[in-house]
Amino acid sequence: MASTSLLKASPVLDKSEWVKGQSVLFRQPSSASVVLRNRATSLTVRAASSYADELVKTAKTIASPGRGILAMDESNATCGKRLDSIGLENTEANRQAFRTLLVSAPGLGQYVSGAILFEETLYQSTTEGKKMVDVLVEQNIVPGIKVDKGLVPLVGSNNESWCQGLDGLSSRTAAYYQQGARFAKWRTVVSIPNGPSALAVKEAAWGLARYAAISQDSGLVPIVEPEILLDGEHDIDRTYDVAEKVWAEVFFYLAQNNVMFEGILLKPSMVTPGAESKDRATPEQVAAYTLKLLRNRVPPAVPGIMAIFVRRTVGGGGNTQLERNEPGTKPMARVLLLRTCVAEHLSENMGRQTRERERSSDHSLGPCQGQFVGSARKIHR
């Protein structure tokens, strides 16, 4: 995408104009700040942080063509459910074995550019005693960390939610950077059946902006994720209208908080009808609507779009299958978010081989890891 940055000076930006899709562009200067003057105003715009160059480099690495992000940020409770399904106890040792299986898969770095980790994983070592972070870096995979604290009810709204986690975020992100993390993830949601109310949209946008500013100040590239939930009976046009307003609000507040757009990544939802809608959309329609939204609302300075183009379905015999949500020609964005659902079908093999290791000195997980990397390769075709 272009190397042009959106002006990050809230007194100069008029929100009504921003929502209409108007923006002010300027070339990013080489100095740490730029002075803007007109007849009525003289102000200084501060650079995003002292990590500016590193943020740009990290974002470009994660957004490198042909690779995507592995989301392995399951909480210990969620990981425990997967272990329980194959008869394994939810212990740190078993969680360690499962995560070791993922991060140490040979050749994974050919298809995965970043890995979102749970906090325990960030500080964890593999079963061989090597730091998980170091194993990822050796494969040219950027370690990341989930930093939000989950969704809670938004008082005064239409039974909507807001994402908590800003309290203490600055100290946490600084510690995560020291531990080796280089990007962060924060998920907030907007519900169409419940409105969405202006309060919920503003809360989601402001929370994402504050999280992004704090993350960049600590050296972490923020993944900005304004998720439009799929629940509802609405058609694809309703989804587009809501997403357009939400994204406009998000980028307006990102600019107000002096977030450097070259050092963020966007993880949007696809523009689809509601899950209960009678009017289904073809992959081509989803692609057309989503691309239109990207072109109309995303500043050209943003270096990458991290989007989910696959979903998991269960076929005959409980086998996991992957369905593409994009046309067979070209993907709808530069990179693909590889979710841990891709790896879920490995759980049975992982459990079996863990039990085999208890009876044998052979620690090889080659076949299972090969299946995992093969899944990543197929997604990018």
193's CB contacts (< 8 A; 6+ apart) are 231, 232, 233, 234, 274
Hey, is 236 helix, strand or coil? helix
| 109: DSSP letter | G
DSSP string computed for 145-178: EE----EEE-TTSSS-EEE---TTHHHHHHHHHH
From 8, 249, 267, 326, the catalytic residue: 267
Active site (annotated) includes residue 225? yes
Hey, is 16 helix, strand or coil? helix
| CA separation for the pair 381, 292 (Å, rounded) | 23
Helix (H) or strand (E) holding 33: strand 33-37
Tell me if 86 sits within 8 A of 353, measured CB to CB. no
Closest CA to 144 of 181, 96, 112: 181
From 225, 227, 249, 262, the catalytic residue: 225
Q: Beta 265-266 vs 221-228: how paired, if at all?
A: parallel
For the annotated catalytic residues, the residue numbers are: 225, 267
